[in-house]
Amino acid sequence: MKRYFRELSVTAALLLVLLGLAVLAPAFYQPQPLLSLVTREAPTLIVACGMALVIICRQIDISVGSQFSVCSVCAGLLAARGWPLPLVVAASAGLGALMGAINGGLVAGLRLPSIVVTLATMVTLRQGLNLVRQGEFVNLPDSVQWFGLSQSAGQATLVVSALVVLVVIGLALRHLSAGRQVYAVGTNAEAARLAGIPPQRVTFLVFVFLGALTGLAAIMNIVQSPQVQPLSGAGLELKVIAAVVVGGVAIAGGRGNLWGAFAGLLLLACVSPALTHLHIEAYWEKAIQGAIILLAVVADGVRQRRGGK
Amino acid sequence: MNPSASAPLLTLRRIAKNYGGVRALRGVDFDLAAGEVHALLGENGAGKSTLIKVATGAHRPDAGEITVAGRTLDGLTPTLAQQLGIACIYQQPALFPDLTVAENIGLRLEHGGAARRIDWPARRARATDLLARVGATIAPDTEVGELSMPEQQLVEIACAVGAGARIVIMDEPTASLTQREQARLFTVVRELRTAGVGVIYISHRLEEIFALADRVTVLRDGASVGTHPVAAMDEAGLIKLMVGREVAQLYPPAESPPGDVVLSLQNVGCSAAGVRAVSLEVRAGEIFGLAGLVGAGRTELARVLFGLTPATAGEIKLNGRPIAIGSPQQAIELGIAYVPEDRRRHGVILEMPVAQNMTMAVHRRLFPTSWLRSGAEQSLALEYVRDLAVKCSSCDAPGGSLSGGNQQKVSLARWLATKPRVLILDEPTQGVDVGAKSEIHRIIRRLAKDGLAVLMISSDLPEVLGMSDRIGVMRAGTLAAVLPGGSDAHTVMAMALGQEGDKGAA
């Protein structure tokens, strides 16, 4: 119980919000708007899974928003040229993995601090994209939108695939040797090294993995609209890191799981529609999200002091 | 010299200090007179550093009395110690590398609010003056990071002189100095003495003590075994004082002769690790003890053998076949296991459960599909918990909740699980209580009996002497001698200190 206290309390908070909405604003539960809400969050969820791994490994990647934009635009251009969708998906994931490899290579290979490395790649990728594309939108062929399915079928496909990714990575993190290694490196990299786990390789691979997931998330985003908007990923990194941290993944590494990240993401995502349904001004959204993050971080601080370590 | 002529500068009476259950100091008496160099001598862990920390106010003693210049102090703090004129010069100077010499000296010696105006010409003039007084030819505007280690030491001494220090403590100041630099340092120390400063001088090098010190106090196991005028002592007598304890514990004896050579090193070196030309052989069933002073290259050799800093010279053979050990993973696959020194930082991941800690190095064998089978994990952990008598509430208890001795057993279990042929133990009983210590000794002997080749690094001299079938003594990055098991402490210590003993046969 104590071990999963944070995950349980975030889940409880989420349930409380959902319950409050059921009583005060039952309109929130109309199927179609709710499905749309969840669909919009599906790409973020995928990126959050990868981010959780990176943070558990005691690193951070703030370039995911820029990676996301680059993948979106490139995937859009390939699709517009008539590439079949499966190939576009593979190309986008591969491009993401490549950008992750650049981050991971610099962090693990040269042992540079990840916050600085990814700050640099964040700016470089974003400005490079602006330079090449001049902010131009990409028009997509009809076959791309909702994978060529009806809107509700497409939405359902997206939500289900995001959940599948979440469950698979969640189980892998808990039950695969590789997952255990991520925790070991994030908790004590030198001890892990002395136990035969190569910390640099693990660090490199979590960045590559996050990049590939970001590429997939870009696809899950572009299929939701007829055009690719080059600024679509702006601010994604903050949203994702906030969700992961609220969900109890310790920024100091070694602690947390995907269930918590999932609950944290939903809790933050609920704020905006809840305000709409409760007829509160939308200006409150960021303030409330900020307060939630602050509360989570303070809770961590208190827990650590009590723990006496 | 005659210390009773004037009141002593510093008197320590019956100083006792415990860390956890370990008695680091048990009632040590020490005094320092003005104008004397008083050497402090003792093995690793004899309590020298603890005594220094008490004298500088860094640690508060559990019992005892500190008198500085006739004033008995209730609680000595680092700030108070500084005001009383106590300065300590450490082996690694604690200066700011990106600031200039003058700025560093200013930071130590100038007082006042953060908003005060700095008088730059005065600061520079004082730095120039102090540097001249300690015989240093360093420009005050040089950045400290550009100075060599001995030059930085001189800056430290200049700070001490500038602070009007009456008591200067030097902790192994010559450890990284060349002969000439050492001679210059001695001149400075002698000048300090002439000026009436009392110097506490810590060194492992006996010849320095004879060259420099007026009196010497020898510590052993946290107690003083006597203070003597240096003129009345010789090297043999000092070594005897340092090690002259009875081997109180009983060590499990070897029951059968060792088998074939398992690990053999031929002129192995690694320049980055500071290890050079080490040749030795360890046989199956044999415990090969590695003795030496801290910094003699023992841990560095272990790190070479475990692939952490791969060898750059020489040949390593395992069961007669030449091998290359490029990484810990390779070492593990070859059957080499390394139980590191600092178990809390490196041996055990404190936040992880006991079971996960134990299986950490055997994922590939235990989980061939990479799927973590918790059944297999638990049963392996239970096996070792039982076999090594690990005391823990359950296999899911975090490693950090165990006592030191039990953490060490967990660390040991992790490596036994790899089914190694060579087991390297680095300070296996450091900071472990007496009961657990002899338990660990019995386990090590049993492992050797089962055919493991054991290489045991230890700074605990009785342990090395009692446990080892053969003893390698390291000094300055290389193997200075290999002695037969049952050698006496005097011979080992003499080898470690660099006194060519008469029994130094390989």
- Give me the residue from B347, B348, B372 closest to A180, CB to CB: B372
> Residue A156 pLDDT > 50, yes or no?
yes
| B134 or B381, greater pLDDT | B381
pLDDT at B318: 96
| CATH number for region B261-497 | 3.40.50.300
Q: What's the gap in Å between the CA of B360 and the closest CA on chain A?
A: 6
Name the residue with tokens 């001490």.
Answer: B160
B381 at the A interface (CB within 8 A)? no
Q: What is the ipTM of this complex?
A: 0.87
pLDDT at B488: 87
* Radius of gyration of chain A from its Cα atoms, rounded to whole angstroms: 19
Instruction: Kindly state the average pLDDT of the residues B454-482.
Output: 92
Q: Are B122 and B149 in contact (CB under 8 A)?
A: no
Query: pLDDT tens across B108-151, in order?
Result: 888 777 778 888 999 999 999 999 888 888 899 999 999 887 88
- Give me the residue from A181, A192, A254 closest to B351, CB to CB: A254
B-chain CB neighbours of A195 within 8 Å are 328, 360-361, 414
pLDDT at B251: 83
- With 0-12 / 13-18 / 19 or more C-beta atoms within 10 angstroms meaning exposed / middle / buried, residue B278 is buried
H/E stretch holding B318 reads strand B313-318
pLDDT at A193: 94
> Residue B97 pLDDT > 70, yes or no?
yes
B332 at the A interface (CB within 8 A)? yes
Sorted by sequence, the CB contacts under 8 Å of residue A285 that are 6+ apart come out as A271, A272, A275
Query: Which of B303, B343, B370, B396 best tests the A interface by mutation, with the highest count of A CBs <10 A?
Result: B370
Sorted by sequence, the CB contacts under 8 Å of residue A95 that are 6+ apart come out as A70, A71, A74, A215
Nearest CA in chain A to B326: A196
Nearest CA in chain B to A184: B349
pLDDT at B249: 58
Instruction: Kindly state the average pLDDT of the residues A138-150.
Output: 91
Instruction: Please tell me the distance from the alpha carbon of residue B304 to that of residue B308, in angstroms, as a whole number.
Output: 6
> Residue B3 pLDDT > 70, yes or no?
no
A-chain CB neighbours of B308 within 8 Å are 193-194
Q: In chain A, what percentage of residues exceed pLDDT 70?
A: 98
Instruction: Please tell me the distance from the alpha carbon of residue B79 to that of residue B74, in angstroms, as a whole number.
Output: 14
> Residue B383 pLDDT > 90, yes or no?
yes
Instruction: Kindly state the average pLDDT of the residues A123-129.
Output: 96
Domain ranges of chain B: 261-497
- Give me the residue from A175, A190, A195 closest to B371, CB to CB: A175
Cβ contact B370–A196 (<8 Å): no
A-chain CB neighbours of B345 within 8 Å are 188, 190-191
- Give me the residue from A180, A191, A196 closest to B329, CB to CB: A196
- Report chain A residues touching chain B, CB-CB < 8 A: 174-181, 183-184, 187-188, 190-198, 254-255, 309
H/E stretch holding A190 reads helix A189-194
Structure tokens at B20: 């956890």
For the stretch B190-210, what's the b/e string if a residue is b when 16 or more beta carbons lie within 10 angstroms of its beta carbon?
eebbeeebbbbbbbbebebbb
> Residue A130 pLDDT > 70, yes or no?
yes
Cβ contact B346–A194 (<8 Å): yes
Q: What confidence category does residue B174 fall into, taking pLDDT thresholds of 50, 70 and 90?
A: confident
Q: Which of A140-144, A179-183, A206-210 has the lowest mean pLDDT?
A: A140-144
Instruction: Kindly state the average pLDDT of the residues A173-181.
Output: 95
Cβ contact A180–B363 (<8 Å): yes
Name the residue with tokens 């700011």.
Answer: B96
Query: pLDDT tens across B256-314, in order?
Result: 888 999 999 999 999 998 999 999 999 999 999 999 887 889 999 999 999 999 999 99
> Residue B506 pLDDT > 50, yes or no?
no
Q: What confidence category does residue A221 fall into, taking pLDDT thresholds of 50, 70 and 90?
A: very high
pLDDT at B505: 39
- Give me the residue from B338, B367, B400 closest to A177, CB to CB: B367
pLDDT at B244: 67
pLDDT at B242: 82
- With 0-12 / 13-18 / 19 or more C-beta atoms within 10 angstroms meaning exposed / middle / buried, residue A42 is buried
> Residue B59 pLDDT > 70, yes or no?
yes
Cβ contact A177–B351 (<8 Å): no
Q: Are A198 and A283 in contact (CB under 8 A)?
A: no
> Residue B92 pLDDT > 80, yes or no?
no
Instruction: For B127-231, list the strands marked E by DSSP.
Output: 167-171, 198-202, 215-220, 223-229
Strands B313-318 and B321-323: antiparallel
> Residue B501 pLDDT > 50, yes or no?
no
Q: What's the gap in Å between the CA of B283 and the closest CA on chain A?
A: 24
Cβ contact B361–A195 (<8 Å): yes
pLDDT at A11: 94
Strands B37-42 and B215-220: parallel
pLDDT at B499: 63
pLDDT at B108: 85
Cβ contact A176–B340 (<8 Å): no
**A211: domain range?**
5-307
- Give me the residue from A174, A187, A190 closest to B351, CB to CB: A187
Instruction: Kindly state the average pLDDT of the residues A160-171.
Output: 97
The count of structural domains within chain A is: 1
Among B462, B479, B440, B455, CA closest to B258: B455
CATH number where A163 lies? 1.10.3470
Q: In chain B, what percentage of residues exceed pLDDT 90?
A: 56
Strands across the sheet containing B478-484: B336-339, B422-426, B453-457, B287-292, B470-475, B478-484
Instruction: Write down the mean pLDDT value for chain B.
Output: 88
Q: How many CB pairs under 8 A join A and B?
A: 66
| B70 or A170, greater pLDDT | A170
Among A153, A125, A46, A54, CA closest to A93: A46
Sorted by sequence, the CB contacts under 8 Å of residue B326 that are 6+ apart come out as B307, B310
A-chain CB neighbours of B414 within 8 Å are 195
CA terminus-to-terminus distance, chain A: 20
Give the pTM: 0.81
Query: pLDDT tens across B333-373, in order?
Result: 999 999 998 888 899 999 999 999 999 999 989 999 999 99
Instruction: Write down the mean pLDDT value for chain A.
Output: 93
Instruction: Kindly state the average pLDDT of the residues B313-333.
Output: 95
